[in-house]
Structure 1
Amino acid sequence: MWSNLPSDLLSNIFSYLPPPSIPRATAVCRHWRDSARAATRDTRRHHHHPPWFIALPTNKNNFCFIHNPIENTWHSLDLKHVPTLIKPVSTIGGHGLILFKSMGGAPIQLSVCNPFTGQFGQLPPLRKPRTNPGVGIIEVFPGQFKLYVAGGMSEAASGGAASYESTLEMFDSNVKKWTVVGSMPVEFSVRLTVWTPNESVYSNGVLYWMTSARAYSIMGFEMDTNKWREFSVPMGYMLEFAALVPRNGQLVVVGGCHGGDVVVWELGEGGEWNVIERMPDELRKRFVGGSVKCVGIEGGVCLYRDMASGIVVWRRGRNCIDRWEWNWIEGCNRL
Structure 2
Amino acid sequence: MKPSFSIATTSSTSLPMDPRIWRNLPQGLLDRVLAFLPPPSFFRARAVCKRWYSLLFSDSFLESHLLLSPPLHWFLFFTHPTTTNTTTTTTVTTTISSPSSTAFLFNPDDNTWYRLSFSTLIPPNFSPAASSGGLLCWISNDAGLKTLILCNPLSKLVSHLPPTPRPRLFPSVGLTVGDSSFSAVIAGDDLISPFAVKNLTAETFHADGLTGFYSPWATASSLPRLCNLESGLMLFVSGRFYCMNYSPFSVLSYDVAGNDWSKIQAPMRRFLRCPSLVEFSGRLVLVAAVEKSKLNVPRSLRLWLLQPCGRAWAELDRMPSEVYRQFSEAEAGHGFECVGHGHFLAITIKATSDILLFDSRRKVWWWAPPCPFSRDRRGLRGFAYEPRLATPSVGLIESPSISFHAFTS
TM-score of the two chains, using structure 1 as the length reference: 0.76
1:203 pairs, out of 237, 244, 255, with 237
Aligned to 1:108: 146
Label 1:297 to 1:275 Cα distance change in 2 as closer, same or farther (>3 A): closer
Distance apart, 1:245 and its partner CA: 1.9
Number of aligned residue pairs: give it.
310
Q: Deviations over 1:300-319 (max 9, x none)?
A: 332132585531123454xx
Give, in angstroms, the shift of residue 253 of structure 1. 0.8
Q: Is 1:4 aligned with 2:28?
A: yes
CA positional deviation for 1:217: 0.7
| 1:229, distance to aligned residue in structure 2 (A) | 1.9
1:286 aligns to what?
A: 326
Q: Secondary structure at the match of 2:144?
A: coil
Alignment RMSD (CA, Å): 3.8
| Aligned amino acid, residue 358 of structure 2 | W
Give 1:166's match in structure 2, choosing from 198, 201, 212: 201
d(CA) in 1 for partners of 2:232, 2:199? 17
Distance 1:219 1:109, change over 3 A: same
Contact kept in structure 1, 2:288 and 2:302, CA below 8 Å: yes
Please list every run of 5 or more consecutive structure 2 residues that lacks an aligned counterpart in the other structure: 1-24, 44-52, 82-96, 292-297, 377-409
Asked whether the 8 Å contact 1:302–1:312 carries over to 2, the reply is: yes
For 2:327, give the aligned amino acid: F
Match of 1:146 in 2: 183
Mapped partners of 1:130, 1:178: distance in 2? 20
Task: State the match for 2:356 in structure 1.
Answer: 312
The CA distance in 1 between the partners of 2:243 and 2:41, in whole Å, is 26
**8 Å CA contact retained: 1:167, 1:180:** no
TM-score, normalised by the number of residues in structure 2? 0.63
Alignment partners' CA distance in 1, 2:172 and 2:213: 20
Q: Where do 5+ consecutive residues of structure 1 fail to align?
A: 41-46, 318-322
The structure having more radius of gyration, on CA atoms, is 2
Provide the C-alpha distance between the structure 1 equivalents of 2:41 and 2:266, rounded to a whole number of angstroms: 34
- 3-state DSSP of counterpart to 1:166: strand
Distance in structure 1 (CA, Å) of the matches to 2:167 and 2:105: 33
**Counterparts in 2 of 1:72-221, with a 5 A limit?**
72-81=111-120, 82-92=122-132, 94-95=133-134, 97-116=135-154, 120-141=158-179, 144-154=181-191, 164=199, 166-172=201-207, 178-181=215-218, 183-187=220-224, 191=227, 194-211=228-245, 213-221=246-254
Match for residue 44 of structure 1? none
In 2, Cα distance between equivalents of 1:250 and 1:20: 30
Distance 1:83 1:125 in 2: 15
Shift of 1:200: 1.3
For the Cα contact (< 8 Å) 1:244–1:251, is it kept in 2?
A: yes
Change (3 A) 1:147 1:21: farther
How much does 1:136 deviate? 0.7
Partners in 1 of 2:366 and 2:26 — Cα distance?
37
Within 1, Cα distance between the matches of 2:339 and 2:144? Answer: 28
Identity of aligned residues (%): 21
Letter of the aligned partner of 1:245 in structure 2?
V
Tell me how far apart the structure 2 counterparts of residues 52 and 128 of structure 1 sit (CA, whole Å).
34
1:266 aligns with 2:290: no
Letter in 1 for 2:112: T
Which residue does the alignment assign to 2:276? 243
Listed one character per residue, the Cα deviations across residues 237-272 of structure 1 (whole Å, up to 9, x for unaligned) are: 221111112234432111114792010111223422
Contact 1:88 1:99 (C-alpha < 8 Å) held by counterparts: yes
CA distance in 2, matches of 1:200, 1:19: 28
